[in-house]
Structure 1
Amino acid sequence: MLPDRFAVVSDIHGNLPALQAVLADMHGRGVSQAVNLGDILSGPLWPAETADLLMGLNLPTIAGNHERQLLACQQQPGGPSDQYAYEQTSPLQRAWLAVLPGALRIGDVQFTHGTPSSDLQYLLDDIAAANLVPAGLDTVAQRLGSTTATLVLCGHSHMPRILQLPGGPLVLNPGSVGLPAYDDTDGGYHRAQTGAPHASYAIAERVAAGWQVQLLRVAYDWNAAAAQAAHNGRDDWAAWLQSGMVTRRGLDIDADTSA
Protein backbone atom coordinates (compact mmCIF):
# COMPACT_ATOMS: atom_id res chain seq x y z
CA MET A 1 0.00 0.00 0.00
CA LEU A 2 1.01 3.59 -0.54
CA PRO A 3 1.33 5.98 2.39
CA ASP A 4 -1.31 8.67 2.76
CA ARG A 5 1.17 11.24 1.42
CA PHE A 6 3.50 10.52 -1.49
CA ALA A 7 5.25 12.18 -4.42
CA VAL A 8 4.44 11.59 -8.09
CA VAL A 9 7.13 11.90 -10.76
CA SER A 10 6.90 11.33 -14.50
CA ASP A 11 8.73 11.93 -17.78
CA ILE A 12 12.23 12.17 -16.30
CA HIS A 13 13.86 11.63 -19.71
CA GLY A 14 17.32 11.01 -18.28
CA ASN A 15 17.58 14.43 -16.67
CA LEU A 16 19.63 13.43 -13.63
CA PRO A 17 20.10 16.87 -11.99
CA ALA A 18 16.38 17.62 -12.33
CA LEU A 19 15.53 14.28 -10.70
CA GLN A 20 18.03 14.86 -7.92
CA ALA A 21 16.54 18.30 -7.24
CA VAL A 22 13.02 16.85 -7.12
CA LEU A 23 14.06 14.09 -4.73
CA ALA A 24 15.78 16.62 -2.46
CA ASP A 25 12.72 18.87 -2.50
CA MET A 26 10.44 15.94 -1.75
CA HIS A 27 12.53 14.82 1.22
CA GLY A 28 12.72 18.42 2.43
CA ARG A 29 8.92 18.40 2.61
CA GLY A 30 8.92 15.24 4.69
CA VAL A 31 7.82 12.92 1.88
CA SER A 32 9.62 9.58 1.83
CA GLN A 33 7.78 7.71 -0.94
CA ALA A 34 7.53 8.49 -4.65
CA VAL A 35 5.95 6.74 -7.62
CA ASN A 36 7.17 6.96 -11.23
CA LEU A 37 4.89 7.11 -14.28
CA GLY A 38 7.38 6.33 -17.06
CA ASP A 39 9.36 7.87 -19.93
CA ILE A 40 12.39 7.49 -17.74
CA LEU A 41 15.61 7.54 -19.79
CA SER A 42 15.10 8.56 -23.43
CA GLY A 43 16.85 11.77 -24.37
CA PRO A 44 20.35 13.22 -24.89
CA LEU A 45 21.14 13.69 -21.19
CA TRP A 46 22.21 11.12 -18.55
CA PRO A 47 20.24 7.91 -19.19
CA ALA A 48 22.63 5.42 -17.56
CA GLU A 49 23.18 7.54 -14.45
CA THR A 50 19.44 8.12 -14.10
CA ALA A 51 18.80 4.39 -14.40
CA ASP A 52 21.36 3.64 -11.70
CA LEU A 53 19.74 6.10 -9.30
CA LEU A 54 16.20 4.83 -9.89
CA MET A 55 17.11 1.16 -9.78
CA GLY A 56 18.60 1.76 -6.34
CA LEU A 57 15.46 3.54 -5.14
CA ASN A 58 13.12 0.76 -6.35
CA LEU A 59 10.10 3.05 -6.66
CA PRO A 60 6.71 1.75 -7.82
CA THR A 61 7.22 2.40 -11.55
CA ILE A 62 5.40 1.87 -14.83
CA ALA A 63 6.69 1.99 -18.39
CA GLY A 64 5.85 4.78 -20.80
CA ASN A 65 5.98 4.78 -24.57
CA HIS A 66 9.68 5.62 -24.52
CA GLU A 67 10.54 2.46 -22.60
CA ARG A 68 8.88 0.50 -25.38
CA GLN A 69 10.59 2.58 -28.07
CA LEU A 70 14.02 2.38 -26.41
CA LEU A 71 13.82 -1.41 -26.15
CA ALA A 72 12.73 -1.64 -29.78
CA CYS A 73 16.10 -0.16 -30.77
CA GLN A 74 17.52 -3.65 -30.30
CA GLN A 75 15.68 -4.70 -33.46
CA GLN A 76 16.14 -1.53 -35.52
CA PRO A 77 17.41 2.02 -34.98
CA GLY A 78 14.93 4.34 -33.29
CA GLY A 79 14.48 8.08 -33.04
CA PRO A 80 17.43 10.11 -31.74
CA SER A 81 16.23 10.28 -28.12
CA ASP A 82 15.52 6.56 -27.85
CA GLN A 83 18.59 5.50 -29.81
CA TYR A 84 20.95 7.60 -27.68
CA ALA A 85 19.51 6.19 -24.46
CA TYR A 86 19.66 2.66 -25.83
CA GLU A 87 23.32 3.01 -26.74
CA GLN A 88 24.25 4.56 -23.40
CA THR A 89 22.49 2.04 -21.15
CA SER A 90 23.69 -1.40 -20.10
CA PRO A 91 21.96 -4.75 -20.70
CA LEU A 92 21.13 -4.82 -16.99
CA GLN A 93 19.49 -1.40 -17.15
CA ARG A 94 17.50 -2.34 -20.24
CA ALA A 95 16.41 -5.57 -18.54
CA TRP A 96 15.05 -3.44 -15.70
CA LEU A 97 13.01 -1.41 -18.20
CA ALA A 98 11.76 -4.56 -19.94
CA VAL A 99 9.95 -5.90 -16.88
CA LEU A 100 8.19 -2.66 -15.93
CA PRO A 101 4.39 -2.98 -16.19
CA GLY A 102 2.47 -0.72 -18.54
CA ALA A 103 -0.07 0.06 -15.81
CA LEU A 104 -0.36 -0.48 -12.08
CA ARG A 105 -3.01 -0.37 -9.39
CA ILE A 106 -2.04 0.02 -5.72
CA GLY A 107 -5.06 0.12 -3.46
CA ASP A 108 -7.39 2.76 -4.85
CA VAL A 109 -4.64 4.54 -6.84
CA GLN A 110 -4.36 3.77 -10.57
CA PHE A 111 -1.20 4.45 -12.60
CA THR A 112 -1.23 4.94 -16.38
CA HIS A 113 1.30 6.68 -18.58
CA GLY A 114 -1.08 7.91 -21.27
CA THR A 115 -4.57 6.40 -21.18
CA PRO A 116 -5.48 2.84 -20.16
CA SER A 117 -5.72 1.89 -23.82
CA SER A 118 -2.68 3.71 -25.25
CA ASP A 119 0.69 4.96 -24.00
CA LEU A 120 0.65 7.49 -26.85
CA GLN A 121 -2.73 9.10 -26.13
CA TYR A 122 -3.06 12.09 -23.83
CA LEU A 123 -5.53 11.66 -20.97
CA LEU A 124 -5.92 15.24 -19.73
CA ASP A 125 -4.96 17.14 -22.89
CA ASP A 126 -6.33 17.91 -26.35
CA ILE A 127 -4.56 19.44 -29.33
CA ALA A 128 -5.88 22.84 -30.42
CA ALA A 129 -4.14 25.34 -32.69
CA ALA A 130 -0.93 23.28 -32.45
CA ASN A 131 -0.83 23.48 -28.64
CA LEU A 132 -1.90 21.22 -25.80
CA VAL A 133 -4.99 22.47 -23.97
CA PRO A 134 -7.00 20.93 -21.10
CA ALA A 135 -9.43 18.25 -22.22
CA GLY A 136 -13.06 18.41 -21.12
CA LEU A 137 -14.71 16.29 -18.46
CA ASP A 138 -16.60 14.05 -20.89
CA THR A 139 -13.50 13.47 -23.02
CA VAL A 140 -11.36 12.51 -20.04
CA ALA A 141 -14.07 10.22 -18.66
CA GLN A 142 -14.38 8.47 -22.02
CA ARG A 143 -10.61 8.01 -22.34
CA LEU A 144 -10.31 6.75 -18.80
CA GLY A 145 -13.16 4.25 -18.96
CA SER A 146 -14.63 2.65 -15.89
CA THR A 147 -12.51 2.54 -12.76
CA THR A 148 -13.09 2.23 -9.06
CA ALA A 149 -9.90 4.14 -8.28
CA THR A 150 -10.23 7.35 -6.30
CA LEU A 151 -6.98 8.76 -7.73
CA VAL A 152 -5.69 8.25 -11.27
CA LEU A 153 -2.09 9.24 -12.03
CA CYS A 154 -0.99 9.90 -15.62
CA GLY A 155 1.92 11.45 -17.48
CA HIS A 156 2.98 11.64 -21.13
CA SER A 157 1.95 15.22 -21.99
CA HIS A 158 4.47 16.88 -19.62
CA MET A 159 1.72 19.35 -18.68
CA PRO A 160 0.87 19.60 -14.96
CA ARG A 161 -2.88 19.20 -14.63
CA ILE A 162 -5.58 18.17 -12.13
CA LEU A 163 -9.16 17.25 -12.99
CA GLN A 164 -11.89 15.98 -10.66
CA LEU A 165 -14.37 13.79 -12.49
CA PRO A 166 -17.87 14.21 -11.00
CA GLY A 167 -18.71 11.05 -9.11
CA GLY A 168 -15.35 9.62 -10.14
CA PRO A 169 -11.65 9.87 -9.44
CA LEU A 170 -9.33 12.82 -9.20
CA VAL A 171 -7.00 12.65 -12.21
CA LEU A 172 -3.48 14.04 -11.79
CA ASN A 173 -0.65 14.67 -14.23
CA PRO A 174 2.40 15.88 -12.27
CA GLY A 175 4.12 17.31 -15.33
CA SER A 176 7.64 16.39 -16.39
CA VAL A 177 10.65 16.16 -14.12
CA GLY A 178 13.08 16.38 -16.99
CA LEU A 179 11.67 18.16 -20.05
CA PRO A 180 9.42 21.24 -19.69
CA ALA A 181 8.67 21.63 -23.40
CA TYR A 182 8.71 19.61 -26.61
CA ASP A 183 7.01 19.31 -29.96
CA ASP A 184 5.51 16.28 -31.65
CA THR A 185 3.67 15.24 -34.80
CA ASP A 186 1.59 12.36 -33.41
CA GLY A 187 -2.02 13.46 -33.85
CA GLY A 188 -0.87 16.48 -35.87
CA TYR A 189 1.96 18.89 -35.16
CA HIS A 190 1.72 20.38 -31.67
CA ARG A 191 3.77 21.87 -28.85
CA ALA A 192 3.77 21.19 -25.12
CA GLN A 193 5.02 24.30 -23.31
CA THR A 194 5.04 24.90 -19.55
CA GLY A 195 6.62 28.32 -19.87
CA ALA A 196 9.43 27.79 -17.35
CA PRO A 197 12.51 25.54 -17.18
CA HIS A 198 11.80 24.16 -13.70
CA ALA A 199 11.42 20.44 -12.92
CA SER A 200 7.80 19.50 -12.22
CA TYR A 201 6.36 16.95 -9.83
CA ALA A 202 3.41 16.60 -7.47
CA ILE A 203 2.60 15.55 -3.92
CA ALA A 204 -0.69 13.73 -3.35
CA GLU A 205 -2.18 13.42 0.12
CA ARG A 206 -5.19 11.46 1.28
CA VAL A 207 -7.42 13.58 3.53
CA ALA A 208 -10.87 13.14 5.03
CA ALA A 209 -12.54 14.80 2.03
CA GLY A 210 -10.63 12.74 -0.54
CA TRP A 211 -7.35 13.78 -2.14
CA GLN A 212 -5.46 17.04 -2.11
CA VAL A 213 -2.59 17.75 -4.45
CA GLN A 214 0.35 20.14 -4.69
CA LEU A 215 1.79 20.79 -8.15
CA LEU A 216 5.40 21.83 -7.58
CA ARG A 217 8.09 23.43 -9.74
CA VAL A 218 11.69 23.00 -8.60
CA ALA A 219 14.73 25.01 -9.63
CA TYR A 220 17.86 23.12 -10.69
CA ASP A 221 20.84 23.76 -12.97
CA TRP A 222 18.95 23.66 -16.26
CA ASN A 223 21.83 25.39 -18.02
CA ALA A 224 24.00 22.33 -17.29
CA ALA A 225 21.25 20.09 -18.69
CA ALA A 226 21.00 22.27 -21.78
CA ALA A 227 24.77 22.12 -22.22
CA GLN A 228 24.65 18.32 -22.03
CA ALA A 229 21.93 18.22 -24.68
CA ALA A 230 23.87 20.56 -26.97
CA HIS A 231 27.05 18.52 -26.44
CA ASN A 232 25.12 15.48 -27.66
CA GLY A 233 23.90 17.26 -30.78
CA ARG A 234 20.42 18.24 -29.61
CA ASP A 235 20.12 22.01 -29.78
CA ASP A 236 16.33 21.58 -29.82
CA TRP A 237 16.42 19.99 -26.37
CA ALA A 238 18.86 22.64 -25.16
CA ALA A 239 16.42 25.39 -26.09
CA TRP A 240 13.47 23.57 -24.52
CA LEU A 241 15.36 22.90 -21.29
CA GLN A 242 16.42 26.52 -20.88
CA SER A 243 13.06 28.13 -21.60
CA GLY A 244 10.18 25.72 -21.12
CA MET A 245 9.03 26.90 -24.55
CA VAL A 246 9.30 25.45 -28.04
CA THR A 247 11.56 28.08 -29.52
CA ARG A 248 13.09 25.56 -31.89
CA ARG A 249 11.45 22.68 -33.71
CA GLY A 250 12.65 19.26 -32.65
CA LEU A 251 13.06 15.78 -34.01
CA ASP A 252 11.57 12.83 -32.21
CA ILE A 253 9.51 12.54 -28.88
CA ASP A 254 6.56 10.18 -29.00
CA ALA A 255 6.11 8.58 -32.39
CA ASP A 256 9.89 8.97 -32.84
CA THR A 257 9.31 12.38 -34.36
CA SER A 258 9.96 15.02 -31.69
CA ALA A 259 11.65 14.74 -28.22
Structure 2
Amino acid sequence: MTRIAIMSDVHGNFEALKVVLSDLDAHSPDAAYCLGDMIGYGPQPQECVDLLRERGVECTMGNHEQGLINIHYLRGFNQPAADVLRRTREMISEDTYQWLVSRPKSLVAHGCRLVHGLPPDSVTEYLWKHKDDMDRVFAGYGEDVCFVGHTHDLMRWTCSRGRPVRHPLPQGETVLEGGARHLVNVGSVGQPRDGDNRAKYVLFDLEAQALTLRLVPYDVERTAALILAHGFHRGFADRLR
Protein backbone atom coordinates (compact mmCIF):
# COMPACT_ATOMS: atom_id res chain seq x y z
CA MET A 1 0.00 0.00 0.00
CA THR A 2 1.29 3.44 -0.95
CA ARG A 3 -0.19 6.37 0.90
CA ILE A 4 0.72 10.04 0.59
CA ALA A 5 -0.24 13.10 2.63
CA ILE A 6 -1.17 16.38 0.95
CA MET A 7 -1.56 19.71 2.73
CA SER A 8 -1.72 23.32 1.64
CA ASP A 9 -1.88 26.92 2.85
CA VAL A 10 -0.04 26.69 6.17
CA HIS A 11 0.23 30.51 6.20
CA GLY A 12 2.71 30.88 9.02
CA ASN A 13 0.45 29.05 11.48
CA PHE A 14 2.97 27.03 13.44
CA GLU A 15 0.46 25.70 15.98
CA ALA A 16 -1.70 24.24 13.20
CA LEU A 17 1.25 22.78 11.33
CA LYS A 18 2.61 21.04 14.42
CA VAL A 19 -0.64 19.21 15.12
CA VAL A 20 -1.08 18.25 11.46
CA LEU A 21 2.38 16.72 11.33
CA SER A 22 1.77 14.93 14.64
CA ASP A 23 -1.51 13.53 13.30
CA LEU A 24 0.19 12.58 10.05
CA ASP A 25 2.84 10.63 11.98
CA ALA A 26 0.14 8.37 13.38
CA HIS A 27 -0.74 7.27 9.83
CA SER A 28 2.82 6.80 8.51
CA PRO A 29 2.41 8.00 4.90
CA ASP A 30 5.15 7.18 2.42
CA ALA A 31 5.60 10.84 1.49
CA ALA A 32 4.16 14.25 2.36
CA TYR A 33 3.59 17.28 0.14
CA CYS A 34 2.61 20.91 0.73
CA LEU A 35 0.94 22.84 -2.08
CA GLY A 36 2.39 26.25 -1.30
CA ASP A 37 1.56 29.31 0.79
CA MET A 38 3.72 28.23 3.68
CA ILE A 39 3.87 31.92 4.63
CA GLY A 40 1.59 34.98 4.65
CA TYR A 41 -1.15 36.05 7.10
CA GLY A 42 0.42 34.12 9.99
CA PRO A 43 2.93 35.07 12.70
CA GLN A 44 5.56 32.30 12.52
CA PRO A 45 6.79 31.91 8.94
CA GLN A 46 10.36 30.94 9.83
CA GLU A 47 9.26 28.26 12.26
CA CYS A 48 6.86 26.77 9.70
CA VAL A 49 9.44 26.60 6.94
CA ASP A 50 12.05 25.15 9.28
CA LEU A 51 9.67 22.39 10.34
CA LEU A 52 8.55 21.55 6.80
CA ARG A 53 12.14 21.29 5.65
CA GLU A 54 13.20 19.31 8.72
CA ARG A 55 10.40 16.83 8.09
CA GLY A 56 11.22 16.44 4.41
CA VAL A 57 7.85 17.71 3.17
CA GLU A 58 8.12 18.49 -0.55
CA CYS A 59 6.61 21.90 -1.28
CA THR A 60 5.41 23.72 -4.35
CA MET A 61 5.28 27.49 -4.72
CA GLY A 62 2.18 29.41 -3.72
CA ASN A 63 1.16 32.94 -4.60
CA HIS A 64 2.46 34.19 -1.23
CA GLU A 65 5.91 32.79 -1.97
CA GLN A 66 5.71 34.38 -5.40
CA GLY A 67 4.74 37.65 -3.74
CA LEU A 68 8.14 37.74 -2.05
CA ILE A 69 9.97 37.82 -5.36
CA ASN A 70 9.34 41.38 -6.55
CA ILE A 71 6.93 44.32 -6.46
CA HIS A 72 5.16 43.14 -9.62
CA TYR A 73 3.78 40.09 -7.83
CA LEU A 74 3.14 41.99 -4.59
CA ARG A 75 0.77 44.37 -6.39
CA GLY A 76 -1.70 41.52 -6.75
CA PHE A 77 -2.34 41.41 -2.98
CA ASN A 78 -4.69 43.54 -0.92
CA GLN A 79 -2.91 46.00 1.36
CA PRO A 80 -3.10 44.04 4.65
CA ALA A 81 -1.80 40.86 2.97
CA ALA A 82 0.97 42.79 1.22
CA ASP A 83 1.97 44.41 4.51
CA VAL A 84 2.31 40.99 6.14
CA LEU A 85 4.47 39.74 3.26
CA ARG A 86 6.79 42.73 3.65
CA ARG A 87 7.08 41.94 7.36
CA THR A 88 7.52 38.26 6.58
CA ARG A 89 10.58 39.08 4.47
CA GLU A 90 12.11 40.72 7.55
CA MET A 91 11.20 37.75 9.77
CA ILE A 92 12.81 34.99 7.69
CA SER A 93 16.46 34.22 7.04
CA GLU A 94 18.13 34.72 3.69
CA ASP A 95 18.44 30.96 3.28
CA THR A 96 14.71 30.54 3.92
CA TYR A 97 13.89 33.30 1.44
CA GLN A 98 15.98 31.66 -1.27
CA TRP A 99 14.37 28.30 -0.58
CA LEU A 100 10.85 29.71 -0.72
CA VAL A 101 11.28 31.57 -4.01
CA SER A 102 12.93 28.58 -5.67
CA ARG A 103 10.03 26.16 -5.10
CA PRO A 104 8.66 24.54 -8.29
CA LYS A 105 5.31 25.77 -9.59
CA SER A 106 4.04 22.20 -9.80
CA LEU A 107 5.10 18.64 -9.09
CA VAL A 108 4.13 15.26 -10.48
CA ALA A 109 4.57 12.54 -7.87
CA HIS A 110 3.09 9.04 -7.59
CA GLY A 111 1.25 9.74 -10.83
CA CYS A 112 -0.55 12.76 -9.30
CA ARG A 113 -0.22 16.44 -10.22
CA LEU A 114 0.39 18.81 -7.30
CA VAL A 115 -0.09 22.56 -7.80
CA HIS A 116 -1.12 25.50 -5.66
CA GLY A 117 -3.70 27.22 -7.84
CA LEU A 118 -4.82 25.72 -11.12
CA PRO A 119 -3.30 22.94 -13.20
CA PRO A 120 -1.03 22.55 -14.90
CA ASP A 121 1.18 25.07 -13.04
CA SER A 122 -0.56 28.31 -12.02
CA VAL A 123 0.14 29.60 -8.51
CA THR A 124 -2.31 32.51 -8.82
CA GLU A 125 -5.46 31.28 -10.62
CA TYR A 126 -8.43 30.42 -8.41
CA LEU A 127 -10.34 27.24 -9.16
CA TRP A 128 -13.72 28.87 -8.48
CA LYS A 129 -13.15 31.33 -11.32
CA HIS A 130 -13.16 28.39 -13.73
CA LYS A 131 -16.22 26.53 -12.40
CA ASP A 132 -18.03 27.06 -15.71
CA ASP A 133 -15.04 25.96 -17.77
CA MET A 134 -13.88 22.85 -15.96
CA ASP A 135 -13.71 20.73 -19.11
CA ARG A 136 -10.84 22.94 -20.29
CA VAL A 137 -9.19 22.74 -16.85
CA PHE A 138 -9.17 18.93 -17.04
CA ALA A 139 -7.87 19.10 -20.61
CA GLY A 140 -4.91 21.17 -19.42
CA TYR A 141 -3.10 18.34 -17.63
CA GLY A 142 -2.59 14.67 -18.24
CA GLU A 143 -2.67 13.01 -14.82
CA ASP A 144 -5.79 11.23 -13.55
CA VAL A 145 -5.60 12.92 -10.12
CA CYS A 146 -4.64 16.51 -9.36
CA PHE A 147 -4.42 18.14 -5.92
CA VAL A 148 -4.75 21.91 -5.46
CA GLY A 149 -5.05 24.48 -2.66
CA HIS A 150 -5.20 28.30 -2.84
CA THR A 151 -8.96 28.81 -2.27
CA HIS A 152 -8.88 27.27 1.24
CA ASP A 153 -12.13 25.47 0.28
CA LEU A 154 -12.66 21.73 0.48
CA MET A 155 -14.07 20.26 -2.71
CA ARG A 156 -13.45 17.78 -5.47
CA TRP A 157 -14.34 17.59 -9.14
CA THR A 158 -14.70 14.52 -11.28
CA CYS A 159 -14.63 14.36 -15.05
CA SER A 160 -16.11 11.30 -16.77
CA ARG A 161 -16.84 11.21 -20.50
CA GLY A 162 -15.98 14.89 -20.70
CA ARG A 163 -18.58 15.91 -18.09
CA PRO A 164 -17.17 17.74 -15.02
CA VAL A 165 -19.16 17.45 -11.78
CA ARG A 166 -18.46 19.13 -8.45
CA HIS A 167 -18.74 17.18 -5.18
CA PRO A 168 -18.25 18.00 -1.50
CA LEU A 169 -15.21 16.61 0.30
CA PRO A 170 -16.51 15.36 3.67
CA GLN A 171 -14.53 14.31 6.70
CA GLY A 172 -13.41 10.69 6.57
CA GLU A 173 -12.89 8.44 3.57
CA THR A 174 -14.01 9.09 -0.01
CA VAL A 175 -13.28 6.45 -2.65
CA LEU A 176 -12.65 8.02 -6.05
CA GLU A 177 -14.86 6.81 -8.87
CA GLY A 178 -13.17 4.46 -11.28
CA GLY A 179 -12.88 5.46 -14.92
CA ALA A 180 -12.97 9.18 -14.08
CA ARG A 181 -10.38 11.89 -13.61
CA HIS A 182 -10.26 13.86 -10.39
CA LEU A 183 -9.30 17.30 -9.10
CA VAL A 184 -9.21 17.69 -5.31
CA ASN A 185 -8.92 20.88 -3.25
CA VAL A 186 -7.40 19.86 0.08
CA GLY A 187 -8.37 22.99 2.02
CA SER A 188 -6.02 24.79 4.40
CA VAL A 189 -3.82 23.86 7.33
CA GLY A 190 -3.39 27.34 8.71
CA GLN A 191 -6.39 29.42 7.66
CA PRO A 192 -9.53 27.39 6.88
CA ARG A 193 -12.43 29.33 5.37
CA ASP A 194 -15.11 26.65 5.37
CA GLY A 195 -16.75 27.36 8.71
CA ASP A 196 -14.64 24.80 10.58
CA ASN A 197 -11.49 26.18 12.17
CA ARG A 198 -9.71 22.84 12.50
CA ALA A 199 -6.54 22.32 10.44
CA LYS A 200 -7.15 20.26 7.27
CA TYR A 201 -5.10 17.83 5.24
CA VAL A 202 -5.69 14.74 3.09
CA LEU A 203 -4.30 11.21 3.00
CA PHE A 204 -4.46 9.42 -0.35
CA ASP A 205 -4.20 5.65 -0.70
CA LEU A 206 -3.05 5.14 -4.28
CA GLU A 207 -3.96 1.46 -4.54
CA ALA A 208 -7.48 1.87 -3.11
CA GLN A 209 -7.91 5.31 -4.74
CA ALA A 210 -9.27 6.48 -1.39
CA LEU A 211 -9.05 9.98 0.04
CA THR A 212 -9.23 10.52 3.78
CA LEU A 213 -9.85 14.08 4.94
CA ARG A 214 -8.35 14.73 8.36
CA LEU A 215 -9.60 17.63 10.53
CA VAL A 216 -7.29 18.38 13.44
CA PRO A 217 -8.01 20.80 16.33
CA TYR A 218 -5.23 23.08 17.54
CA ASP A 219 -4.68 26.11 19.78
CA VAL A 220 -6.37 28.73 17.60
CA GLU A 221 -6.18 31.45 20.24
CA ARG A 222 -2.41 31.16 20.59
CA THR A 223 -1.94 31.84 16.87
CA ALA A 224 -4.54 34.63 16.90
CA ALA A 225 -2.79 36.31 19.83
CA LEU A 226 0.57 36.18 18.03
CA ILE A 227 -0.98 37.72 14.90
CA LEU A 228 -2.19 40.66 16.97
CA ALA A 229 1.09 40.90 18.88
CA HIS A 230 2.93 41.32 15.58
CA GLY A 231 0.61 44.14 14.60
CA PHE A 232 -0.88 42.24 11.68
CA HIS A 233 -4.41 43.04 10.53
CA ARG A 234 -7.02 41.85 13.08
CA GLY A 235 -9.00 40.17 10.31
CA PHE A 236 -6.29 37.53 9.93
CA ALA A 237 -6.78 36.56 13.58
CA ASP A 238 -10.57 36.67 13.40
CA ARG A 239 -10.59 34.34 10.37
CA LEU A 240 -9.12 31.59 12.52
CA ARG A 241 -11.89 31.61 15.10
Q: TM-score, normalised by structure 1?
A: 0.76
Residues 43 and 84 in structure 1, CA contact (< 8 A), matched pair in contact too = no
Residues 73 and 86 in structure 1, CA contact (< 8 A), matched pair in contact too = no
Which residue, 64, 67, 70 being the options, matches 1:66? 64
For 1:30 and 1:223, how far apart are their aligned partners in 2?
A: 29
For 1:16 and 1:201, how far apart are their aligned partners in 2?
A: 15
Residues 73 and 82 in structure 1, CA contact (< 8 A), matched pair in contact too = no
Counting only pairs closer than 5 Å after superposition, residues 161-200 of structure 1 correspond to structure 2 as 161-167=155-161, 168-181=180-193, 194-200=194-200
Change (3 A) 1:49 1:201: same
For 2:106 and 2:74, how far apart are their aligned partners in 1?
A: 26
For 2:124 and 2:52, how far apart are their aligned partners in 1?
A: 23
Residues 67 and 74 in structure 2, CA contact (< 8 A), matched pair in contact too = no
Change (3 A) 1:107 1:203: closer
Give the aligned partner of residue 113 of structure 1.
Answer: 116
Give the aligned partner of residue 131 of structure 1.
Answer: none
Give the aligned partner of residue 8 of structure 2.
Answer: 10
Deviations 1:29-68 (A, max 9, x none): 2335211100111224100111111121232211011111
Residues 3 and 206 in structure 2, CA contact (< 8 A), matched pair in contact too = yes
Residues 10 and 190 in structure 2, CA contact (< 8 A), matched pair in contact too = yes
Give the aligned partner of residue 240 of structure 2.
Answer: 241
What letter corresponds to residue 109 of structure 1 in structure 2? C
1:42 match: secondary structure? coil
Change (3 A) 1:73 1:147: closer
What letter corresponds to residue 34 of structure 2 in structure 1? N
Residues 151 and 171 in structure 1, CA contact (< 8 A), matched pair in contact too = yes
What letter corresponds to residue 58 of structure 1 in structure 2? G
2:5 match: secondary structure? strand
Which residue, 73, 97, 102 being the options, matches 2:100? 97
What letter corresponds to residue 90 of structure 1 in structure 2? S
Give the aligned partner of residue 46 of structure 1.
Answer: 44
Give the aligned partner of residue 34 of structure 2.
Answer: 36
* Cα offset, 1:230, TM superposition: 1.3
1:165 match: secondary structure? strand
For 2:183 and 2:101, how far apart are their aligned partners in 1?
A: 27
Identity %: 28
For 1:31 and 1:106, how far apart are their aligned partners in 2?
A: 14
Q: TM-score, normalised by structure 2?
A: 0.82
Name the Cα RMSD after superposition. Answer: 2.3
* Cα offset, 1:73, TM superposition: 5.9
For 2:110 and 2:28, how far apart are their aligned partners in 1?
A: 22
Q: Which has the higher contact order (CA 8 A, sep 6+)?
A: 2
Residues 105 and 121 in structure 2, CA contact (< 8 A), matched pair in contact too = no
Give the aligned partner of residue 142 of structure 2.
Answer: 148
Change (3 A) 1:53 1:144: same
* Cα offset, 1:74, TM superposition: 11
Change (3 A) 1:44 1:232: farther
Give the aligned partner of residue 218 of structure 2.
Answer: 220
* Structure 1 residues without counterparts, runs of 5 or longer: 128-134, 182-193, 243-259
Residues 22 and 218 in structure 1, CA contact (< 8 A), matched pair in contact too = yes
Change (3 A) 1:87 1:74: farther
